[in-house]
Amino acid sequence: MTGGSTTKATYGHVFAVAQFRALFAGRLLGVLSDTLRSVALAVLVFSRTSSALLTAMAMTIGFLPQAAGGLFLGAMADRFSPRTLITTGYALQCAVGLLLASGHLPVSVSLLLAAAVACLTPVTTGAAGRVLAEGLTGDTYVLGRSLSYLVAVSAQMVGMAAGGALIVWLGVDRTMLVTAGAHLLASVISRLFLPHTEVVRAGGSTVAGGSTTVGASIVQRTLQGNAALVAAPGVLKLIMVQCLPAAYLAAAGSLLIPYCAQRAFSPTQTGTLLAATSVGMLIGDVVVGRAFAPATRERLVLPLLLVMGTPTTALVLDLPYQAIAAVYAITGVGSAYLLGLQRRFLEVVPSDLQGQGFALLNTTTMTIQGIGPLVFGAFAQFLPVGRTIALTAVSSVITTLLLRDAIRGGSSPPPPRSGPG
């Protein structure tokens, strides 16, 4: 482990840790492959069905199934070695890619396969969170979480940008083979370079109230662990602070295509606007992560949340294209607020539920980000799209103000340091 709790770290300190380099490489390959596969699957589904609904489902099939995985399988993140879980997860993704590459599966089976493997994402995410928490400390941990987030955003941008061109060049089936190969490489890297961490609880322990969970199923352990996490002081509030504002940001992004169509922007202009938020995210995380000390980052959480939520209120007006691009880039910069919450979240999660805590955070994030666009998409059926986007901004600001006590931190009692086995 490396880094102190108050000493400002650098990204170089984070990359000096061998297990982080392995985790980073695997995540880069994994997210890039997931994104390429989603694009290829959407093209495949549309070519066979001409259904916009099924095509949209193919693009987002990896989101909502994660709710099931986090709710019922999350305890696996603390029951098995992270290396085993991460390696197996990538290997299963590789197998799904190979099956989809065969080109002979019905659309319904293809979607079911993509959904099934997505159920395991919270487990592997929780396991990766354990690796970070056990390998990094203090500010190196905060920057490690930041880099993990940045690599996901960057890989998604590259995957979306390159997906169409790759499919034109190779075709859907061969693109699926590329994703399978990348997942296989991620699995090999994880197997060879991640440390073999002992299982946190090899045989069951006592839960709150004295009842033992020896022999309990993974589902039982997950439900008990989730209950313990929700009951732990500060955990639920910090999950909400990390998830709800990001859901409004996702909703604002999901309305860009109909907004651009309404404004008669070109496909190139639309693509640039879709990328503007991600560019802002990259800039915000790098600048805030490098320029400010840990304590300053924590004080910046509230201002950055307001930076993320406020600008899109301007879309009630018919702004020029350049101004809209700037608005979305600025909202992306505000997402750096997450840096100021990483240390606090790690501290309030019971130590023997770290893996499941990260799994629950990932599950909640993916679920809410899947629901947010649906809710505001429904509003857009009755309101002008620009006003609906502005409504996401107003909702974000109101939510931020309602959660301001959790954002600023309080004098909550120390969290319990144990949970269900």
This prediction's pTM? 0.72
Q: Are 309 and 400 in contact (CB under 8 A)?
A: yes
Average pLDDT, the chain: 82
Q: Compute the Cα dihedral for 410, 415, 420, 421 and give only its sign.
A: positive
Tokens 């955003």 sit at which residue?
A: 153
Kindly report, residue by residue over 76-98, the tens digit of the pLDDT.
Answer: 877 888 899 999 999 999 999 99
Alpha-carbon distance of 349 to 416, in angstroms, equals 8
Please, where in the chain does CATH 1.20.1250.20 lie?
A: 14-196, 230-408
Q: Which of 157, 163, 153 is nearest to 275 (CA)?
A: 157
Where helices occur in 74-137 by DSSP H, the ranges are 76-79, 82-101, 107-118, 121-135
Alpha-carbon distance of 57 to 108, in angstroms, equals 11
Alpha-carbon distance of 405 to 412, in angstroms, equals 11
CA dihedral 275, 279, 282, 286 (to 10 degrees): 180
Q: May I ask the CATH class of domain 230-408?
A: mainly alpha
Kindly report, residue by residue over 304-333, the tens digit of the pLDDT.
Answer: 999 999 999 999 998 999 999 999 999 999
Q: Which of 253, 247, 255, 251 is nearest to 384 (CA)?
A: 255
Interval 250-258 mean pLDDT: 80
Interval 42-63 mean pLDDT: 72
The letter for the amino acid at 45 is V
Record the tokens describing residue 199, joined without a space: 């299982």
Question: 144 pLDDT exceeds 90?
Answer: no
* DSSP, residue by residue, 314-344: GGGS---HHHHHHHHHHHHHHGGGGGGGHHH
Interval 122-145 mean pLDDT: 84
Kindly report, residue by residue over 158-195, the tens digit of the pLDDT.
Answer: 776 677 778 888 888 899 999 999 999 999 999 999 98
Alpha-carbon distance of 61 to 68, in angstroms, equals 13
Per DSSP, the chain holds a count of helices (H) and strands (E) of 21, 0
Helix (H, G, I), strand (E, B) or coil at 404: helix
The angle at the Cα of 287, spanning 282 to 289, to the nearest 5 degrees, equals 95
Interval 126-133 mean pLDDT: 85
Burial letters 224-263, b for 16+ CB under 10 A, else e:
bbbebbeebebbbbbbbbbbbbbbbbbbbbbbbeebbeeb
Contacts (Cβ under 8 Å, ≥6 apart) of 130 = 77, 78, 82, 197, 354, 355, 358
Task: Give the model's confidence band at 421: pLDDT under 50 very low, under 70 low, under 90 confident, else very high.
Answer: very low
Q: Which helix (H) or strand (E) holds 264?
A: none
Alpha-carbon distance of 401 to 408, in angstroms, equals 11
Alpha-carbon distance of 82 to 75, in angstroms, equals 12
Alpha-carbon distance of 41 to 59, in angstroms, equals 7
- CATH number attached to the domain at 14-196: 1.20.1250.20
CA dihedral 276, 277, 282, 283 (to 10 degrees): 70
Q: Which helix (H) or strand (E) holds 207?
A: none
